[in-house]
Structure formats: structure tokens, C-alpha cells
A = this chain, B = another copy of it.
């Protein structure tokens, strides 16, 4: 078994119920969106039109809970530590598996996650503040509207990392190599320009310290589909809980330049 398979099995058996950063290092972690087939084409289109916040790693056929191309031994219904159930666009509950919610009608999307580019940043000597502070990354709803698709529309959600000003160019260059996991930043500097009123009050995740001489840098974020789901209000949508990702058999290095 590879490290991803070991990690998925631990989660499946209920031996790990927390966030997944650092699990199966080097293996790509994915955002998950599961919805009824009647919404699947429109959501696919939404992702295709908004590849920066919604980069598609894999899509499963209706009822298929094994991602045959990216984690054939995995089980989408059990291999995530914590799921979120949205009904009519409202977060109703968090659960540890979705066996009771699954049906032959459910279509699963696996989307890239910025965890993949954080390792290369760290290797290049660019510290990641939320990791150093033991927190979740701060995320903000912006005034950048995604391209609508069918019934789906919504604002782009971004994640923010404070970067020392002299390292910003390098951070842009490194993350640009990973378009399948959000790629280069969508905004650098003044948060108000993208509709963020207070950079110390994120809409999701935690507040992190921004030191003098550091610039807030904003990347498109995989929570964007959850904002679209909240606006569109399908009967049911299931996602991972923030930070509790699905671990694939893809290696981060394979995504370079794709």
C-alpha cells in the first residue's frame, strides 16, 4: 500500500478524525463536491469556466464512489474524516461518513487544493503563516464574480497567505507552476480592491498574523463551489469539511505544469 492508501484506510476505520494537512506527504489532497446527477452537468460547466477556483482533478460517474482514475482503492463515502451536508444551500450537519446519504444518483467531483503548492513554497524558504501558527488558512468571499454556468453562480472565495514583500515574486512564480491547484494568485496587496473589508476577519478559517513588511497574497480557493452551492440551493450537496480532505494516489509532483 502506498502512503495515500494507508491514510485513507486509517480514516475509513475511524482512527483519524481530524484535519488532513501533513497526512501522506507528497500525495495530492482534493476538495470534494457531491451532488445529484441533475445538477452534475451545470456544476461541471461551472468548474470548466472557473478553472482557477475549481480545478478539476477527477469526476466520477453517478453512483461511483471509487475514483477510478485518481484513487481506485478509495471510497468517497468513508475516506474523508468529516463531511458537510448542505440542504437547500444551508449547512445542516457534519458527519463522519456519508453511507446513509449515498445513492446511485450521486456524482462526485474532486477539485485541486492549495495544500499541494504549500510544500514547494516551504521548500523554497517561504514560510506559510497558518501552518506556523497551527491554524486553518484564512478564506474570504470576494467581489470577484465567477462566470455563471446553468443554475450555478457565485463569488470567488480566496485564501490568504502573508508573504514578505521581497518574496512575493517568487511565490507567484512557484504557484504558477501548479495550475491544477489554483495556480498563481488572483490578487496581491490591498484587500479592499477585491471587496475584503477587514483582512483580520476571514469568512472561513482562522485569522493569522500579518507582520510589517508582509503583503497579503490571495489565491483562488476550493471553497468557491460551496459559496455557489449556498446561492443555488440544490436539495442536497455534500462536501468535505474545510481542512478535512480526500487523499488521492496522485503525487503533487505529477501536477507540476499540468
Contacts and interface: CB of A to CB of B under 8 A. Distances in A.
Interface centre among A37, A48, A107 (most CB of B within 10 A): A48
B48 A59 contact: yes
A40 interface: yes
Q: Chain copies in the assembly?
A: 2
A48 B59 CA distance: 9
Interface residues of A, number: 16
Contacts of A107: 41
Contact of A45 (B45, B49, B61, B150): B61
A23 interface: no
A71 to B, nearest CB: 15
Given A40-B41, A41-B41, A48-B56, A61 B147 contact: no
A59 B44 CA distance: 10
Contact of A44 (B41, B49, B69, B147): B41
A149 interface: yes
Interface in A72-91: none
A45 B45 CA distance: 11
A41 B40 CA distance: 7
A44 B149 CA distance: 14
Contacts of A48: 44, 56, 59
Interface centre among A40, A45, A107, A147 (most CB of B within 10 A): A45
A149 B61 contact: yes
A61 to B, nearest CB: 5
Contacts of A149: 61
Interface in A151-205: none
A150 B68 CA distance: 13
17 contacts: A37-B41, A40-B41, A41-B41, A41-B44, A41-B107, A42-B61, A44-B44, A44-B45, A44-B48, A45-B59, A45-B61, A48-B56, A48-B59, A49-B69, A61-B149, A61-B150, A69-B147
Given A42-B61, A44-B44, A45-B59, 11 more contacts: A37-B41, A40-B41, A41-B41, A41-B107, A44-B45, A44-B48, A48-B56, A48-B59, A49-B69, A61-B149, A69-B147
What are the 8 closest A-B residue pairs judged by CB atoms, nearest first? A41-B41, A40-B41, A44-B44, A61-B150, A45-B59, A48-B59, A48-B56, A41-B44
